[in-house]
Amino acid sequence: MKIALIGYGKMGKIIESVAEERGHTAGLKIDIDNIAQFTKGNLQTCDVAIEFTGPHSAKENILKCLDAGIPVVSGSTGWLEDKAEIDNFCKEKNGSFLYASNFSVGVNIFFELNKKLAQLMKQQDSYEISMEEIHHTQKKDAPSGTAITLAEQVIEAIPLKKNWVNNESENSAELVIISKREDPAPGTHSIKYSSVIDDIEIIHTAHSRQGFALGAVLAAEYIHDKKGIFSMKDILGL
């Protein structure tokens, strides 16, 4: 496949390396320095786009790729209030779109583990739930997209929790997510159930970006010849 890399920072370069190892090429590499090359014509020379930018540009980037008629995989976070609009546009264009808050195979297994634990704990009123996520200082959004996904899974399963907040709270209906930004930070997410008797905690720690890059390339391989809206669950059979 010829891949358009929309966002060519640290993540984009690792995705390119993984893609080349799997026999693909980067036909287009777009960053802030060459944004003029981000055209419909250039996109149409590629088979699929992988978009890793930021919350302020992701929506327009995805729309431009879909308008060019190429499948797009996005791992940008912080823009999900616009996802319904993106999904509708994808359907209008008979396109292909896959978004994931985290492309790591391990994290997507962790998502399933989180849902299962939340189901087991939903009747255990003596436990208080809290979450923590730690990332490097260059990560601009907080909480992370992964943390939001985990929080939404907990809220869906546990009736007492109504919403999440990104600060300390004494309100029992609020699920607290504490975000920390420090260097170096491998990328850690934890969910803790605490009582006076004991604690139950699940943790995922990423040791490098390689797992995210591989997942993004797997996603591109999966959707490049398909139509519709997909998720990592489709790829991993979860």
Which range, of 53-67, 127-141, 213-227, averages the lowest pLDDT?
127-141
**Residues 119 and 196 placed together within one structural domain of the fold:** yes
**Residues 23 and 138 placed together within one structural domain of the fold:** no
Domain count, the chain: 2
Residues 6+ apart with CB under 8 A from 40: 64, 67, 68
Q: State the CB neighbour count (10 A cutoff) for residue 126.
A: 9
Q: What range does the domain containing 145 cover?
A: 105-205
**Residues 215 and 190 placed together within one structural domain of the fold:** no
pLDDT value of residue 72 = 98
Average pLDDT over residues 127-153: 91
**Residues 120 and 85 placed together within one structural domain of the fold:** no
Residues 6+ apart with CB under 8 A from 48: 1, 3, 4, 70, 71, 72, 73, 220, 223, 224
pTM of the model: 0.80
CATH number of the domain at 13, please.
Answer: 3.40.50.720
CATH number of the domain at 176, please.
Answer: 3.30.360.10
**Residues 26 and 77 placed together within one structural domain of the fold:** yes
The DSSP bridge partners found for residue 184 are none
Residue 160 has pLDDT above 80, yes or no: yes
Tokens 């802030």 locate to 32
Give the residue numbers marked as catalytic.
Answer: 135, 139
**Residues 229 and 192 placed together within one structural domain of the fold:** no
The three-point CA angle 74-231-105 to 5° equals 85
**Residues 159 and 224 placed together within one structural domain of the fold:** no
Residue 186 has pLDDT above 80, yes or no: no
pLDDT value of residue 21 = 96
Residue 178 has pLDDT above 90, yes or no: yes
**Residues 231 and 180 placed together within one structural domain of the fold:** no
Helix H or strand E segment including 193: strand 188-194
Structure confidence by residue, pLDDT tens digits, 7-18: 998 889 999 999
**Residues 136 and 180 placed together within one structural domain of the fold:** yes
Residue 238 has pLDDT above 80, yes or no: no
